[in-house]
A = this chain, B = another copy of it.
Amino acid sequence: MKKSAPKLSSDYTTRDRLLDAAERLFGLRGYDGVGMRMLAEEAGVNLGAATYHFGSKDALYIETFLRRFRTMNAKRLRLLRQAEEEAGANPLPVCKIVDCMIRPLFQSGLEHPSFQLLLARNLFMPPAFLHEAIRKELEPNIMEFHTALLRSLPGMPDNLLHLRTMFGMGALLVFSVQMDRMPLARDATFNENVLKEMVHFISAGLQSVSPPSLEEWLPVPFPPDFERR
Give chain A's interface residues, CB within 8 Å of chain B.
28-30, 32-33, 120-121, 124-125, 160, 163-164, 166-175, 177-178, 180-185, 189-190, 193-194, 196-198, 200-202, 204-205, 208, 210-211, 213-214, 217-219, 221-223, 226, 228-229
User: Beyond A121-B125, A218-B193, is A166–B183 a contact (Cβ under 8 Å)?
Assistant: no
Docked complex Cα distance between A169 and B189 (Å)? 24
Question: Could you show 26 A-B contacts with beta carbons less than 8 Å apart?
Answer: A30-B125, A121-B125, A163-B197, A164-B201, A166-B175, A167-B170, A167-B198, A167-B202, A168-B171, A171-B171, A171-B205, A173-B173, A181-B222, A181-B226, A183-B226, A185-B221, A193-B217, A193-B218, A194-B218, A196-B214, A197-B210, A197-B214, A201-B208, A202-B205, A204-B204, A204-B208
The prevalent SS among residues of A at the interface is: helix
Report whether A166 and B174 are in contact in the complex, using a CB–CB cutoff of 8 Å: yes
Q: Given the known A-B contacts A125-B121, A125-B177, A200-B211, are A190 and B171 also in contact in the complex, defined by CB atoms under 8 Å? A: no
A41 CB to nearest chain B CB (Å): 15
In the complex this chain forms, how many copies of it are found?
A: 2
Residue of B nearest to A127 (CB): B33
Residues of B within 8 A of A229 (CB): 28
- A211 to B, closest residue via Cβ: B200
With A167-B174, A182-B223, A221-B190 in contact, do A208 and B200 touch (Cβ < 8 Å)?
A: yes
Contact status B174-A124, CB under 8 Å:
yes
Taken together as a complex, chains A and B put the C-alpha atoms of A144 and B163 apart, in Å, by 29
For A29, the chain B residues whose CB sits under 8 A away are 32
When the two chains form their complex, are residues B177 and A124 in contact, meaning their CB atoms are under 8 A apart? yes
Residues of the B chain whose Cβ atoms lie less than 8 Å from the Cβ of A183: 223, 226
CB distance from A211 to the nearest CB of B (A): 5
Contacting pair A167 B163 (CB below 8 A): no
